Structure 1
Amino acid sequence: MKLAVYNVENLFDRAKAMNLDSWEEGRPVLEKFATLNGLLGQVTYAPADKTRMVELMRDLGLEKSDTGPFVILRRNRGGLLRRPKDGGVVIEADGRADWVGSLELRDEPVNEHAMRNTARVMMDLEADVLGVIEAESRPVLSAFNTEILPALGGTPFRHVMLIDGNDERGIDVGLMSRTGYPIGTMCSRVDDQLPNGQPVFSRDCPQFEVTTPNGETLLVLVNHLKSKGYGGKAASDAKRKAQAERIAEIYRGLIDNGARYVAIIGDFNDTPSSAPLAPLLHDTDLADIFTHPAFDDGGYPGTYGLCNAANKIDYILLSPSLFERVRSGGVYRTGMWPGSRPKRWEAYPEVSRAADAGSDHAALWADIDL
């Protein structure tokens, strides 16, 4: 059985603020969007909240219209605000119950070449079980599977599953599997909460039960942990650590209940030596596929960007019983931009510039005798 994981960075559409030339350009928009969304969701709007809402709406281009360059304010019913003829915005609602609507990020189509290169990676991996990070929704993932893969000569996966998570940007996690590897029982953890009532997981930590042709049961937990680039460092590190602690707790519970073959895969947004990931990487008996003697890192220690050690952020973690059945493993970078001076690895001919890459992330795979 070949198990793989790939951060596809959206398949058809991506939030415009995430599709800019650099993360630093989009980060302020995403942070202001999150802050305004949080304020709009409050039960009661204090005068200071209303003042801050107006400032954020102005910064997001909503002063004259409900449609800004990167966000849309949808007002279905009730009176959230008015825009006087002499300019500005006045918040009239006194709380969330006074209006019906939402604040949403605007999307734009993904580069067609990038979309095709994403599909090529998914095809060339030849994975039996593939964890997918940053897919918009199950209908989108299913359409990509049945329309784009065959158009490029690939065979669609037999099973496609994705459960909507907690992120408003449409970057969820899911699982795809081939004939002979049906997805059985699933468990979502979108409702897991921190002591302050906030969700533990930025997206979700779904658990998928996969049966192999030999009748073995594999439990796959797919994750996308809190990013370093969105919010303050201390808060981001604390959130990521809480997520790692919860995943470790879930894992121990599965093992205590008799599970033998458990894989925890995904984009963890931090390095193996980081303190936030220590509860998962060092305080459990899970083993990173990178440490297996039969694993080939392709000459580079990382999985993101130019794949330096500081960019080792994608993982396949395996329980001991699963790790001992690994026969080989590796990093698939052919769909990534290889740099230009010099090129670090061979990429698809269609990756002629960074914008055409299937993803900024490499795909990871492990061939397991299961």
Structure 2
Amino acid sequence: MSETVSAQSTPVMDNVQPEGPVLFTLATFNIENLMRRFDFTGYRNELRQDRSLQLFAIDNETQYRQLEQARMVAHTDDTRQLSALSIAQTRADILCLQEVDDLAALNAFEYGYLFKMVGQGYKHKYLIDGNDSRGIDVSVMMRDVTRSGHTIELVKLESNAHLTYQDLGIYDPVLSSVGIEAHERVFKRDCLMLDLRIGGKPLTVFVTHFKSMGGVRYGQDPKLTTLPVRLAEAQAVRMIIEKKFGRDGAADASWVICGDFNDYYEKLAISGDQWGGYDFTPVQEPDNCLNVFLNDGFAVNLVERRPELDRWTLYHTRGPQERHLCQLDYIWASPALAQRNAQAVPEIIRNGQPYRTLFPEGQDVARFPRIGWDRPKASDHCPVAVTLEL
């Protein structure tokens, strides 16, 4: 049974709605570690230690903690100004976020940073603790009304973080190779479900953040090694939707899935250098979890409506020999909602990317003030936003 929470439900407002189409703007953004806690594990685990502290001789853990606190406080202000600028540019009525510590962190960020840029806006915030070992969760912020004046009401908020492989009958023995047993929970964070009414019309939003491609042994392909976990997460999301709307009814319902899926079915492989120029070559990636949504048209990746070279939301590099651009951040729409909005093309906000990010020709944008070569930056991910009609 799913956990249902009524967290600070939006008050029902005047039922008289503006004339005209019911439009709303939806965005998703991995805000990258919106934390209220300091992480001191780098003292004993060098892989978790910030590179700036590795330049100094640190005598003891007390000194390390003092330096780490100073580093984080100095780094955070610029980062969160840039995160807020990115969010403000989406002009979202409903904002789905990943990597949020808790509601207190979200409130502090909205009041101290975002409010200064967009004014009164995201009064309603929803977050339920999920399964992430670092305590980062998915969350949603919403306005009272859309920019077109239609009310946004929360009908139900539901977590699916408790679901196990056994519950859903999707345990694959290959999962044992990465140390996962059948009784464990499927979602590495959650699949948060929000039933909404916008201008009186229903919309269901699912927000998720799939297993990352990190945390594997050297020499292994991290994407393929962790793929079974993401495959199970994708199957679970689909099962939740089909259970809610029925297998035959899911295509005709109004729903979206937003989040960081940590997977891609195409990428732009980057070769060359700054002196001879860069080449961006499209490469298909047949092994991915996203085929669970794609193969039979269960859902539509709205970002695919952008040109092939212009769908990326993340720049990946481990040095000049391994560089690519790819889409990790998605807004999936039900077939009916996608068809109703056949001309809607999502926007990808890249102004918060650091200067090390390589842009294909013609795509470079004016960076926000104080962007650095690698940091400060808004996030390693780019927000994705789209305006849809119900």
**Structure-1-length-normalised TM-score:** 0.70
Tell me the CA shift for residue 334 of structure 1. Answer: 1.1
Structure 2 unmatched runs, 5+: 1-23, 50-59, 66-70, 145-150, 167-181, 266-285, 318-322
| 1:208-230 deviations in Å (ceiling 9; x for gaps) | 112112x1111111010000112
| Residue 331 (structure 1) aligned with residue 348 (structure 2) | yes
Identify the match of residue 270 of structure 1 among 263, 266, 273: 263
Distance in 2 between the 1:122 and 1:253 partners?
A: 33
Distance in 1 between the 2:228 and 2:357 partners?
A: 36
Contact between 2:313 and 2:325, CA under 8 Å: does it hold in 1?
A: no
Identify the match of residue 287 of structure 1 among 281, 300, 305: 300
Tell me the CA shift for residue 147 of structure 1. Answer: 2.9
Distance in 2 between the 1:333 and 1:309 partners?
A: 16
Identify the match of residue 241 of structure 1 among 231, 249, 252: 231
Assess, with a 3 A threshold, how the Cα gap between structure 1 residues 15 and 194 changes in structure 2: closer, same or farther: farther
| Residue 135 (structure 1) aligned with residue 79 (structure 2) | no
Q: Point out the more displaced range, 176-185 or 125-134.
A: 176-185
**Count of residues in Structure 1 that have an aligned counterpart in Structure 2:** 291
Distance in 2 between the 1:131 and 1:144 partners?
A: 15
Q: What are the equivalent positions in structure 2 for 1:1-370 lying under 5 Å apart?
A: 1-13=24-36, 16=39, 25-26=47-48, 108-109=72-73, 111-179=76-144, 180-195=151-166, 196-213=182-199, 215-231=200-216, 233=222, 235-256=225-246, 258=249, 260-272=253-265, 273-292=286-305, 295=306, 300-305=310-315, 310-326=325-341, 327-339=344-356, 344-370=364-390
Assess, with a 3 A threshold, how the Cα gap between structure 1 residues 319 and 341 changes in structure 2: closer, same or farther: closer
Moved over 4 A (4+): 17-20, 67-70, 107-110, 306-310, 340-343
Tell me the CA shift for residue 149 of structure 1. Answer: 1.6
Distance in 2 between the 1:168 and 1:186 partners?
A: 23
Assess, with a 3 A threshold, how the Cα gap between structure 1 residues 175 and 348 changes in structure 2: closer, same or farther: same
Assess, with a 3 A threshold, how the Cα gap between structure 1 residues 276 and 356 changes in structure 2: closer, same or farther: same
| Superposition RMSD in Å | 3.2
Residue aligned with 2:235, SS: helix
| 1:181-208 deviations in Å (ceiling 9; x for gaps) | 2222011011101242111000010101
Distance in 2 between the 1:277 and 1:17 partners?
A: 35
Residue aligned with 2:345, SS: strand
Residue aligned with 1:355, SS: coil
Contact between 1:123 and 1:155, CA under 8 Å: does it hold in 2?
A: no
Tell me which amino acid in the other structure corresponds to 2:334: S
Percent identity over paired residues = 27
Distance in 2 between the 1:222 and 1:216 partners?
A: 20
Tell me the CA shift for residue 238 of structure 1. Answer: 1.2
Q: Using CA pairs below 8 Å that are at least 6 residues apart, which structure has the higher relative contact order?
A: 2
Tell me the CA shift for residue 275 of structure 1. Answer: 2.9
Distance in 2 between the 1:350 and 1:284 partners?
A: 42
| 1:109-166 deviations in Å (ceiling 9; x for gaps) | 4521011110111122110111001111122112222332223453331211011111
Distance in 2 between the 1:282 and 1:212 partners?
A: 30
Give the corresponding residue for 1:75. none
Residue aligned with 2:257, SS: strand
Structure 1 unmatched runs, 5+: 28-63, 71-106
Distance in 2 between the 1:15 and 1:265 partners?
A: 28
Tell me the CA shift for residue 264 of structure 1. Answer: 0.6
Contact between 2:100 and 2:138, CA under 8 Å: does it hold in 1?
A: yes
Residue aligned with 1:206, SS: strand
Distance in 2 between the 1:139 and 1:17 partners?
A: 21
Tell me the CA shift for residue 289 of structure 1. Answer: 0.7
Tell me which amino acid in the other structure corresponds to 1:228: M
Assess, with a 3 A threshold, how the Cα gap between structure 1 residues 314 and 340 changes in structure 2: closer, same or farther: closer
**Structure-2-length-normalised TM-score:** 0.66
Contact between 1:306 and 1:338, CA under 8 Å: does it hold in 2?
A: no
Distance in 1 between the 2:364 and 2:330 partners?
A: 21
Assess, with a 3 A threshold, how the Cα gap between structure 1 residues 18 and 355 changes in structure 2: closer, same or farther: farther
